[in-house]
Structure 1
Amino acid sequence: MQHEALRELFCRRERRSVGRAREFAREALDAWGWEGARAGDVLLCVSELATNALVHGVPPGRGYLVRLLNEDAGRRLRVEVHDSGDGRPALAPPGGTRPEEDESGRRLLLVAALADTWGVGERDPGKVVWCAFTRGRT
């Protein structure tokens, strides 16, 4: 059950964009037959990565791109969030010193715990933060 292996949504720099990104992902997951706990994990990670982009990676006047790739004949899903901000996100160290670092780092800890793999790639300008899920794996 594979329809369109790639879906993209451009989001403007506004708070409601996180909900739009999540709904966009839900529609794609439904079309691709992803359901259950893995779908819930994907949706939560989309929300966390979109929130990180909105709060830390999108300069005024810019937006971010949410890209979903249904790979390997529908057995793997890759979520990418592209932004044009500087910096490279990292996991928060235990007992972080600054609350704002803790909050963003905790979002990535959640993504790292739920996704099978995740990482940060280069783009000009900015970066792409991604995570991937394998169907049937919990």
Structure 2
Amino acid sequence: MTESSAAAKTQPVILVVEDEPEERFLAATLLEETGFRVIEAETAEKALAILRERGDEVNVVFSDVRTPGQIGGFELARIIGVTWPRVHVLLTSGDAGDQPSDLRMSATFIPKPWRALDVLTLVEQAAGYHTGGDARDAH
């Protein structure tokens, strides 16, 4: 195994679920430039299909609450919690009415517009991965 393929296997995988192409690109680019591997999906249904195929690879799902289709972000988080309980979920929304009071404990809500540093910090915590930090940060 080469050094780069070994590094790729240790990089956490983040599934970004966002129907707005610009926002999905921004989130994916931010995460990739920080050392994460990223898989992108436009809808919750597509995210579930990816998880069915590659759920053992995915560490964190970063999803908009409002996605097109029959399944939204809150329902996606509930399905992931039951089916893939080790996968952490971060939900985001720009709608003030989307303050989730019934999320499972491992799901975190980030209001839009989100700040890059906030997303990186939460994704790193959820993935158990530290891109910068010192030895005191290790678990």
Higher relative contact order (CA closer than 8 Å, sequence separation 6+): 1
- Larger relative strand fraction: 1
TM-score for both structures, normalised by structure 1: 0.32
